[in-house]
Structure 1
């Protein structure tokens, strides 16, 4: 194997395994084969056939065990990863676990995961219960588990298989992925991410996971499983990668690619995980957090900074009026935590300048009082050298001219002034 500075050799495990649990009260009354047969016509036929084939092979086992024979599932962690009170109550009342396990070689398709999840979902549906994905420590209702399986062309939403948890430390936010090991690849991590990029960087991590997973499986496409796969040291991530990972390929924009340097961070503790770290490219000046903020500004280009108006035209005036009329409502939803999951609320506000106001965007950190917004700048201002990407800002609500809710695919709500600009209706100076 040729080793160069342009590629990073990543070890390939000999085999991969998947484990799913179905908590039940009493013993199942429907056989596993009958439950799987009932999925005919409801999931893609290649996946249905794969599940039946693996169920009849030594590559998969389905056992019913008293719940006391299995290590206790931690309710706190399950709740942290989305388990509802009802699901936790059913787990507490369960007397047995149906344990579905499958094993397969690294590569694509990940037959062990697809088949095991399909079988577990079929069993859970037959008993009116839930699926527990042991790898992700996630509860899945049967319908959600079945929807996550690939379509007739083998496509999946990566967000259904890879989570992006994060935690805070003295240097900022620490992001990791949880799910790439299903496919044999090391998990990703990024450290030192500014706090205001919580949702945006989660989407970037998901897009990076999609790009690297594609490179990884390309390296495993031969008949023999190699000992290593060479991944590019400089990985590129685009808006298309993010949109595809979220299952919305038609929504991607023509964003410029962002470069992220890949480094192997081996664990010093034999019981801990090694990671592939995402860092700025070599030679990038300034702190890593500033590069990450600039990367998000590039990838989520649905909001453009540094827009100037000396005198708004009719279309722009209507756009600003529309945005301001919805400001109280969106603040109430933000404060109540009712905005969509994995979304970010941003506002556009005016800064005084010699040639008229300069309008820039800021991500909102808190909005405790209606008049005052605390956030972090999403762009560099020309008129005020203290307003830089990642710098804290305090915005008066009276200065806000627009707002937008962003997710991994771009603007999902708001952004009226930007829509006017995108339509080419620039105001007359």
Structure 2
């Protein structure tokens, strides 16, 4: 293997393992093999066949143990990763755990993860219980676990397998991924991210994870598992990478690529994790946070992904009125196919929240009825967890407060409310 300064040699583990738990009040009444057979026709056949084969091989074990024999799962961390009170209650009431474990070599497909999650979901479904992903410290209901598995073409949404937690430190926000080690790759981290990029940078990290995971699995495609996989020191991330990671590759316009420098940060504590750090390219002037903000502006084509205000001022009111007044014309041009080539129409609309509406952008994919717009979200919403980048949305035209026409350089038409915000006229706080 040729290693140059353009590539970073990342070590490959000898094998990978997956562990899933199913809490039980009593002993299971249905065997794992019977439960998996019940998924016939509901699970893509490659994965269904893989689960059956792994069950019949020494690569997978399914054991039922008294819950006291298993280390206690930390409820605070489970809650931090989305556990509900009902799920925690079922875990507390469980007398036994069904433990599903699988092992496989690094590479694609990650048979250990797909098969173990499928078996655990099948068992949980028959018992009316939950799946606990030990790696992610995350509860999954059986339907969600099954939906996360590959379709007939082997496609997955990376957001179902990789989380992006963050925390604050003296330099800003510290982002990490949690899930890439399922595939043998080191987790990513970014430090010094400005606070206002919370949701945008989470999406960028997910897109970067998708791009690097593809390079990683390409490097493991041979018959022999190598000791190292060379990853490019300058990684590129595009809007397409983000959209694919969220499962909606056809619903994202083209964007210019963003460059991120990859550095290996080995852990000094043998109990701690090593990371691959994402930094600005060498020689970038100014603080890293400024580069991260520019990267988000490029990847989201100049539109702020999480604009919020509670009560518009005069300038904002005029901007909204101007945008609403031009909606009929832009819809007519969109429906007639008369918008400039290589452009994308986006609209901004309000989602209700406890502190006032949250305004988010969505790319328009269809506008057949004048009163209703079908599109794909261009941002993660804070108030509605179902609204994520690339997720399908239906917007009532009456809720639209702005629209914009984008090309690769940014806004070329519209975007009146954004212009007010960019000019620094922040709306007043709620009374």
TM-score (norm 2): 0.77
Structure 1, residues 193-225: CA drift from partner, whole Å, max 9, x if none? 000100000000000000000000000000000
Query: Equivalents in 2 of 1:68, 1:316: separation in Å?
Result: 62
2:404 matched residue in structure 1? 419
Judged with a 3 Å threshold, the aligned counterparts in structure 2 of structure 1 residues 329 and 417 are, in CA distance, closer, same or farther, namely closer
1:188 matched residue in structure 2? 188
Q: How far apart are residue 116 of structure 1 and its match? A: 0.1
Total equivalences in the alignment = 357
Query: Equivalents in 1 of 2:30, 2:392: separation in Å?
Result: 46
Secondary structure at 2:209 match in 1:
helix
Q: How far apart are residue 3 of structure 1 and its match? A: 1.8
Secondary structure at 1:212 match in 2:
helix
Query: Equivalents in 1 of 2:146, 2:114: separation in Å?
Result: 10
2:248 matched residue in structure 1? 248
Structure 1, residues 356-413: CA drift from partner, whole Å, max 9, x if none? xxxxxxx9xx9xxxxxxxxxxxxxxxxxxxxxxxxxxxxxxxxxxxxxx995349967
Judged with a 3 Å threshold, the aligned counterparts in structure 2 of structure 1 residues 109 and 84 are, in CA distance, closer, same or farther, namely same
Query: Equivalents in 1 of 2:90, 2:117: separation in Å?
Result: 19
What does residue range 318-357 of structure 1 map to in structure 2 within 5 Å? 318=325, 330=351, 333=353, 335=355
What does residue range 196-215 of structure 1 map to in structure 2 within 5 Å? 196-215=196-215
Query: Equivalents in 1 of 2:387, 2:90: separation in Å?
Result: 35
Query: Equivalents in 1 of 2:172, 2:325: separation in Å?
Result: 39
TM-score (norm 1): 0.77
**1:148 aligned to 2:148?**
yes
Secondary structure at 2:152 match in 1:
coil
Judged with a 3 Å threshold, the aligned counterparts in structure 2 of structure 1 residues 421 and 313 are, in CA distance, closer, same or farther, namely farther
Q: How far apart are residue 22 of structure 1 and its match? A: 0.1
Asked whether the 8 Å contact 2:16–2:104 carries over to 1, the reply is yes
In structure 1, the gaps of 5 or more residues are 306-310, 347-362, 367-404
Query: Equivalents in 2 of 1:111, 1:327: separation in Å?
Result: 41
Secondary structure at 1:191 match in 2:
strand
Asked whether the 8 Å contact 2:349–2:401 carries over to 1, the reply is no
1:173 matched residue in structure 2? 173
Query: Equivalents in 2 of 1:312, 1:196: separation in Å?
Result: 23
Secondary structure at 2:48 match in 1:
helix
Query: Equivalents in 1 of 2:406, 2:181: separation in Å?
Result: 43
Query: Equivalents in 1 of 2:227, 2:70: separation in Å?
Result: 33
Secondary structure at 1:418 match in 2:
strand
Judged with a 3 Å threshold, the aligned counterparts in structure 2 of structure 1 residues 152 and 245 are, in CA distance, closer, same or farther, namely same
What does residue range 13-28 of structure 1 map to in structure 2 within 5 Å? 13-28=13-28
Query: Equivalents in 2 of 1:60, 1:158: separation in Å?
Result: 24
Asked whether the 8 Å contact 2:175–2:190 carries over to 1, the reply is yes
Asked whether the 8 Å contact 2:403–2:414 carries over to 1, the reply is no
Asked whether the 8 Å contact 1:204–1:408 carries over to 2, the reply is no
2:368 matched residue in structure 1? none
Give the alignment partner of residue 408 of structure 1, picking from 384, 389, 394.
389
Secondary structure at 2:9 match in 1:
strand
Query: Equivalents in 2 of 1:215, 1:256: separation in Å?
Result: 19
Secondary structure at 1:208 match in 2:
helix
Q: How far apart are residue 252 of structure 1 and its match? A: 1.3
Judged with a 3 Å threshold, the aligned counterparts in structure 2 of structure 1 residues 327 and 220 are, in CA distance, closer, same or farther, namely closer
Asked whether the 8 Å contact 2:280–2:291 carries over to 1, the reply is yes
Judged with a 3 Å threshold, the aligned counterparts in structure 2 of structure 1 residues 214 and 173 are, in CA distance, closer, same or farther, namely same
- RMSD (CA atoms): 3.2
Judged with a 3 Å threshold, the aligned counterparts in structure 2 of structure 1 residues 167 and 304 are, in CA distance, closer, same or farther, namely closer
Query: Equivalents in 1 of 2:261, 2:208: separation in Å?
Result: 11
Query: Equivalents in 1 of 2:406, 2:96: separation in Å?
Result: 60
Asked whether the 8 Å contact 2:246–2:391 carries over to 1, the reply is no
Asked whether the 8 Å contact 1:303–1:415 carries over to 2, the reply is no
Query: Equivalents in 1 of 2:129, 2:392: separation in Å?
Result: 37
Structure 1, residues 119-150: CA drift from partner, whole Å, max 9, x if none? 00000001000000000000000000000000
In structure 2, the gaps of 5 or more residues are 306-317, 329-346, 362-378, 416-431
Judged with a 3 Å threshold, the aligned counterparts in structure 2 of structure 1 residues 407 and 26 are, in CA distance, closer, same or farther, namely closer
Asked whether the 8 Å contact 2:348–2:401 carries over to 1, the reply is no
Q: How far apart are residue 292 of structure 1 and its match? A: 0.2
Query: Equivalents in 2 of 1:289, 1:111: separation in Å?
Result: 38
Secondary structure at 1:164 match in 2:
coil
**1:232 aligned to 2:255?**
no
What does residue range 127-146 of structure 1 map to in structure 2 within 5 Å? 127-146=127-146
2:370 matched residue in structure 1? none
Asked whether the 8 Å contact 2:20–2:131 carries over to 1, the reply is yes
